[in-house]
Amino acid sequence: MTETLRLQDRELFWPPADELTAAAERIRSRLGDWPPTHAPWRICLTPPDAPNGGDLIVVTDAAPHLANIARWMLDGAGVIEAGIDAGQGRATLHLGGVRYALEGELAEDWIPALAAFLDCGFDPHDALVLALAWRDGDEAREDAWPVDFSRFPRVLGLPDAPAQPFAPCPTKLGLYPVLPTTDWVERVLDYGAKTVQLRSKQPKSPALVSEIERCVAAGRQHADSRVFINDHWREALAAGAYGVHLGQEDLREADLDALAAAGMRLGLSSHGYFEMLTALHFRPSYVALGAVFPTTTKAMPTAPQGLARLARYVKLLDGVAPMVAIGGIDSAVLPQVLATGVGCAAVVRAVTEAADPAAAVAALQQVFTQ
């Protein structure tokens, strides 16, 4: 008999629905231990008179509700428009002024599955991805968590991917120092690192062009090295860099066709399931996932992912695309990160703030061989 897990004493659905609650508890019991969520979410199958900031209001057709949707979202609620279109399931979440449109399968239990994934602490757009990857009866599997990529939905409304995929890079990129200057890139390559990234804070200028050209030249002087340039794709393309690393916000601006045609590698950032699917649409050379742990090197749009989520992401992307773990990783936690099966870990302060950077690089690389 399938186990059940009593969720917190709270209203999961509006109107109250005992059958949905039982299904959500049954599914949740098979998803493992996750930190309890404190978000005040509630799934509303009928628009409530007074929605709260955690409500997710499910409608099959937004048209009759257009006069109210803007008001609901001003109150902090989200709206999920879900239904079957041309035989294909579609679900679009409108939340915080952002539209998250997905196409996939809507299982009979997708709504209780959504409740279960929300209870695991996932943000609504990522929980919705998982709900569309859920199949009725999955709770009877030994490992019920969705990890079959072929079941996952696709993100709608994205620009076309380049005609040719981006050039591949090694499946396991190993230690990946992310460095602030060309001097650092040159030094760390001399220390024996094979994969590095220049994340320069310089504004666009002749000095920046020179810095990127020096990094590319340094990479060519070291056999089998892989130098990625963060953000500055035009300069990297002109310099003939091995690859570039871009954030999701850069995808509509960058000339991805030109980068792919030049044989450059592309790494894309992601911060959860929805952004991971967005990144994979463009067939990048690798997908970075973070922040795994709290980090002070840059402002992060999401809470730290943690090792449990990282392990799930690794299983999902196995054989799909190389993955890079990033964010707050140092020598103390690197063994735990690699225990998830990820083949690459990006580090920043573990190298740049080390008392002996050369020794730090050697020690970190040693962890990959253990």
Task: Work out the average pLDDT over 42-64.
Answer: 90
Which segments of the chain belong to CATH 3.20.20.70?
174-369
Q: Which fold has domain 174-369?
A: TIM Barrel (3.20.20)
Per-residue pLDDT of 115-130, as tens digits, reads: 999 999 999 999 999 9
Look at residue 305 in the predicted model and tell me its pLDDT: 94
Look at residue 300 in the predicted model and tell me its pLDDT: 60
Task: Say if residues 311 and 325 touch (Cβ distance below 8 Å).
Answer: no
Per-residue pLDDT of 298-316, as tens digits, reads: 666 678 999 999 999 999 9
Higher confidence at residue 65 or residue 289?
289
CA distance 81 to 354: 50
Q: Is it true that the peptide bond before 15 is cis, omega within 30 degrees of 0?
A: yes
Task: Work out the average pLDDT over 32-54.
Answer: 89
Q: Tell me the Ramachandran region of residue 339: left when phi exceeds 0, alpha when psi lies from -120 to 50, beta otherwise.
A: alpha
Task: Say if residues 144 and 6 touch (Cβ distance below 8 Å).
Answer: no
- Render 142-195 in DSSP notation, one character per residue: SS-S---GGGS-EESSPPPPPSSPPPP--S--EEEEEESSHHHHHHHHHTT-SE
Task: Work out the average pLDDT over 260-282.
Answer: 98
Residue 112: which residues within 8 A CB-CB, separation 6 or more?
20, 21, 23, 24, 26, 27
Give me the helix-helix angle, 18-28 and 110-119, nearest 10°. Answer: 60
Per-residue pLDDT of 309-343, as tens digits, reads: 999 999 999 999 999 999 999 999 999 999 999 99
What pTM does this model have?
Answer: 0.95
**Tokens, residue 26:** 């049954």
pLDDT surpasses 70 at 9: no
CA distance 190 to 165: 31
**Tokens, residue 210:** 């020179």
CA distance 3 to 101: 33
Task: Work out the average pLDDT over 175-186.
Answer: 98
